[in-house]
Structure 1
C-alpha cells in the first residue's frame, strides 16, 4: 500500500508542476528564440522538493520515513534492474526524436541545444557540488554520495525540457516526460541506490535548472551567436554517464 501511495505522491507532484507551468506566459525574443518569463511562482514546486530533501538530512523523523520506504520498496528483491540508466535520458532525447519525425517544438535545433546544454551543466554542477558537501551514505552503504540523486535530476531536467518545448502542441508530451522521470526516481530507490529525500531533491534541482536555462537563454544566445541568425547549423549535445560530463559541439556552414 505504501508503494502505491508513494507512486501516487510523486505523480501528483509532477502533475502540479505541469499545471503550474501552464500559467506561465511565453515571450518571443527578437531573434526568434522563445523563452519562459521568470515568475517567482515557478520556484514553488522545485523549492518544496529541494527543501524536503535538505530537511531529510537532519530530521530524524524523515530519516525514519526514508528507512520505511526503502524497506517497503526493496522487499523481496532478487535482482536489480538497470533501466534507470537509460530512462534518465529519454525525456530529453524525445525532444530531438519528435523533431526528427517533423513534430516541431518551440525552438529550433540550435536554440534548444543551447538550452539543453545549459540545463545539463547547471544540473550536473549542482548535483556534484551537493554530493561533495553533504556526504550522505547511500542506502546500500557503498559510498557517501547519495544526496541528491543525479539520475533523477537529469531525468526531471529532461522532462521539464520536453514539456517546455512541446506544451503548445499537447500537454501530454510533458505528462509522459514527467511520468518517465518519476519512474526513474522510483527505480533508483528500488535498486537501493537512493533515499526518497535524494530523489525528491534531485527532481527539484532538475526542474529548477531547466527553468533557469530558459531564463538565461536570451543572454546566452546573444553572446554565442550575436543578434542575427547565421546561415549555418549548430548542434550542442551534452552527455552524462553518472561519473563524467561532456559536451559535443558541431557546426556546419
Structure 2
C-alpha cells in the first residue's frame, strides 16, 4: 500500500511539473508581448512577432523533416516547440530590455525545457535544439530598446563584451 501511495505522489508531482511548464510556456511570450505594450514599444512588438514567427517556422519545418519519435512514443519530438518559443521570448526580453528582465525570463524558459524532458515529451537534445533556435531567432531580429546595453560577443578571433547606447 505504501508503494502505491509513493507511486501516486510521484505521478502527481510529474503532472504538476508538466502542467507548470505548459502554463509558463504561454506565460513567457505573453509577458514579452506585455512588456512591449507597457513600454509603448511598438517596434519591439514587431521584432518579437518576427523572432517568434521565425522560431516557430524553423521548429515546425524541422519537426516534419526529422519526424523523430518522442520518449512517450508520439511523433515530432525534434526540436521542442515549447523550448523554442520560451527561449525566443527570454532572449527577446534580455536583448530588448536588459539583463534585469532577461535573467528571470531565462530561468522560466529553463524550467519549461526541464518540464518537457521530465514529462517524457522530449529528449534533452530536443529542448537544447529548441532553445538554440529560439535564442538565435530573437538575437537576429531584436535590437536593444533605449539606453545603454551590454552584451557578450564572440568571433573566431576574440571574445568580449559590447557596450551600446541607443536612443
TM-score by length of 2: 0.71
Q: Secondary structure at the match of 1:141?
A: coil
Where structure 2 has 5 or more consecutive residues not aligned to the other structure, the ranges are: 1-8, 144-167
Q: Secondary structure at the match of 2:110?
A: helix
Matches within 5 A, 1:58-207: 77-79=10-12, 80=15, 81-98=18-35, 104=39, 108-143=40-75, 145-167=76-98, 171-207=99-135
Where structure 1 has 5 or more consecutive residues not aligned to the other structure, the ranges are: 1-75, 216-253
Measured after TM superposition, the shift of residue 205 of structure 1 is: 0.2
Contact 2:91 2:135 in 1 (8 A): yes
Distance 1:132 1:96, change over 3 A: closer
Matches within 5 A, 1:239-250: none
Measured against aligned partners, the alpha-carbon deviations of 1:30-67 in whole angstroms (never above 9, x if no partner) come to xxxxxxxxxxxxxxxxxxxxxxxxxxxxxxxxxxxxxx
Measured after TM superposition, the shift of residue 90 of structure 1 is: 2.8
TM-score by length of 1: 0.48
Contact 1:90 1:158 in 2 (8 A): no
Q: Secondary structure at the match of 2:30?
A: helix
Query: What is the CA–CA distance in structure 2 between the aligned matches of 1:131 and 1:206, rounded to whole Å?
Result: 15
How many residues align? The count is: 131
Matches within 5 A, 1:9-24: none
More helix by share: 2
Runs ≥4 in structure 1, deviation > 3 angstroms? 95-100
